[in-house]
Amino acid sequence: MSRRVDRRSFVVSAAASLLAACGWDGGRTFRPVLSGVSRLNDWVSQLVFSSERRAPKYDPAERSRSFPAYHISAMTPTLAEPDTWRLEVGGLVRTPLTLSLDELRAIAPVSYTVKHHCVEGWSAIATWIGVPVRAVAERAAVLPEARYVRFDSFDSGYYSGWDLESAMHPETILAYGFNDQDLMPDHGAPLRLYAPHKLGYKLTKYLTRITFTAEQPGGYWEDQGYPWFGGV
Amino acid sequence: MDEPVRRHHWIVRAMHWAAFVLIFGMVASGLQIYRAYPRFGERGGPYYPNLFHDVAFPEWSRLGGWLAGGINWHFFLMWPLVAVGIVYFAYLALSGEWRKLLLRPRDARPAFEMCKYYLRLRRGHPPQGKHNALQKGAYTSVLLLGTLSVLTGLAIWKPVQLAWLTGLFGGFQAARYWHFWAVWLFVTFTVVHVIMVFVADPPSLRAIITGRYRGRFSSDEP
């Protein structure tokens, strides 16, 4: 008889602790386990990622009617003097670069109409035009020690760190055009990172600097717990 | 009274309870993730018919606290859940237990007889083996549902790398939709399953915990 009571009280306490777990992000003890498994998932994501694979393409007629735009600054970040904006390319490169928008526009562009995937679960189709990161990396002559790329912005310190392979994918671009127009301030003007194979939070807007590194950079959201690889 | 018979192998019992806890956690962390965008369809619409359109599930039903917490729980629990599935399917195949559990064409007539029995159109309980034909149907469906949950989950996780799989489910938003439906099918199955345990065969509860069964149904096939 007492065994039965024990079993019942065990089941009740197990159910209670399950309920108490809800709304819980793992706490000080379990959060490290979750982020450890998140590293494992990054590794799996990297295995699944192919630099040969191209994202499915859509017809411009299929563009979504709305396309949300997020930034972390209280107001939409804009430049006081847009003409003096330059993109800095540095870190583990032989030739550090300082590029104006006109110089970037002079490089052979890539354009595609693709589906954007947000970590929140929404998706939207849009057309993007820009310069492959790869083309800029070739000009800067990236050193063999470089394994990661850090993208910095003027949106209150927002940044994101990428693996080199994803950054060198031919569909990873520095976009200056959105749906046949110049990139608007909401979408990261004058220049943003874009790739159909990453979640939106990896696609740093309001770019200022690209840095090639040997150490893995974090990221604004990644440092707070979002998956680092963020590939789709 | 008859001596209890051994009914469920320890692997089956361990996988049953592990799956219960893990699916519970997957549903709770899934509801947390759902909160970030509680609708289905491309931005700007049109949206899919959904009873839970823009519904925020109560805090006690969610696991993770915020989107990243929900994602990290979901993407942690998925590994042991897939492992449980693999071990269980391997056990079914290697032990031959699948013959007693999976619904087959020969179960059509017995299933019809069971329906008649439940609708009181027939008096005596139809003869059955370890599980009756309707149970086989329910257990086969829930295994199929588990498999589809994993596949739709992969389709949402990697809609570009596994674009063929995402396409199979009708695209990213459709895959999310089916993945969400799986929640309600799991919940429905669990509710009916628990009711049936208490209504039709209470000794089966002991059997799934200790493995021993002292009920009215034989563990062998007729």
In a domain, A230, yes or no: no
pLDDT digits (tens, 9 = 90+) for B177-198: 999 999 999 999 999 999 999 9
The residue ranges of every structural domain in chain B are 8-213
The residue among B43, B54, B61 with the most chain A CBs within 10 A of its CB, best to mutate, is B43
CA dihedral angle for residue A182, residue A165, residue B151, residue B93, rounded to 10 degrees: 170
What confidence category does residue A29 fall into, taking pLDDT thresholds of 50, 70 and 90?
confident
Angle at A144 between CA A143 and CA A148, to 5 degrees: 85
Count of structural domains within chain A: 2
pLDDT digits (tens, 9 = 90+) for B120-134: 999 999 988 899 999
Q: In whole angstroms, what is the distance from residue B6 CA to residue B12 CA?
A: 12
Please write the tens of the pLDDT for every residue from A32-57. Answer: 899 899 999 999 999 999 999 999 99
Q: Give B61 to chain A, closest Cα distance, Å.
A: 6
- Average pLDDT of chain B is 95
CATH number at residue A166: 3.90.420.10
A199 vs A201: CA distance, rounded Å:
6
Q: What is the pLDDT of residues A64-110, one digit of tens each?
A: 999 999 999 999 999 999 999 999 999 999 999 999 999 999 999 99
CATH number of B8-213: 1.20.950.20
How crowded is residue A152: how many other Cβ atoms within 10 Å of its Cβ?
18
Cα(A149)–Cα(A162) distance, integer angstroms: 5
Residue A11 burial by Cβ neighbours in a 10 Å radius (0-12, 13-18, 19+): exposed
Host domain of residue A219: 55-224
Cα–Cα dist A127/A62, whole Å: 10
- Residue identified by tokens 């109409």 is A113
> Do A73 and A101 fall into the same domain?
yes
**A148 shares its domain with A95:** yes
The pTM is what? 0.91
B contact residues 129-148, partner A, Cβ 8 Å cutoff: none
pLDDT digits (tens, 9 = 90+) for A194-217: 999 999 999 999 999 999 999 999
* A162 plus A73 within the same structural domain: yes
* Nearest-CA distance B35 → chain A (Å): 8
* B40 to A116, A123, A223, B46, B213: CA distances (angstroms): 15, 9, 29, 9, 45
The Cα of B108 is separated from the nearest Cα of chain A by a number of Å equal to 37
B194 touches chain A (CB under 8 A): no
User: How many helices (H) and strands (E) would you count in chain A?
Assistant: 5, 10
Which of B 73-132 lie inside 8 A of A, CB atoms? 73, 75-76, 79
| Disruptive mutation site among A34, A125, A198, A226 for chain B (greatest number of B CBs within 10 Å) | A34
Instruction: Give domain status of residue A229, yes or no.
Output: no
Asked whether residue A184 is domain-assigned, the answer is yes
Burial degree of B87 (CB within 10 A; 0-12, 13-18, 19+):
middle
